[in-house]
Amino acid sequence: MQAFLEKAVSLRFEIAAVVLFGIGFMNLLLQNNLIKKIVAFNVMDSSVFLFLASQGYIEGRMAPIVQNGVTDASQYVNPIPAGLVLTGIVVSVSVSAFFLALVQRLYKHYHTVDFDEIMMMAKKKVD
């Protein structure tokens, strides 16, 4: 039991990230309000960024910017996750913008942001 708790404490960021991922995922599926869906999507992506960032951290080391000409690998944290997170953030910003634009247009057409209602109304429209 103690070993388990110690592990849980050590892995706290990963656990938090996974729980957040679950929250985001669930809300993205279940929320009817489209704006809340966007928020959920951002929670989900941020949780992955938290996970990646926690993978990069190494106890007692410096940020990956060369200081005083020291280029010893044992002095700096892992720079790769930072790069991946940066890419991920840009992607999630872009998708959020597109999503919001779609919601704006939908609101103009259907005067609601309720996903189910929009789907019901869309079904009745002819094309």
Phi, psi torsion values for 107, nearest 5 degrees = -65, -40
| Contact flag: residue 7 with another protein (CB under 8 A) | yes
Task: For residues 87 and 89, give the distance between their C-alpha atoms in angstroms, rounded to a whole number.
Answer: 5
Smallest separation, CB 127 to another protein (Å): 5
Residue 59 tokens read as 């106890």
Q: In whole angstroms, how far apart are CA 69 and each of 5, 42, 57, 72?
A: 41, 38, 21, 9
| Contact flag: residue 87 with another protein (CB under 8 A) | yes
| Contact flag: residue 111 with another protein (CB under 8 A) | no
Smallest separation, CB 57 to another protein (Å): 5
| Contact flag: residue 39 with another protein (CB under 8 A) | no
| Contact flag: residue 127 with another protein (CB under 8 A) | yes
| Contact flag: residue 33 with another protein (CB under 8 A) | no
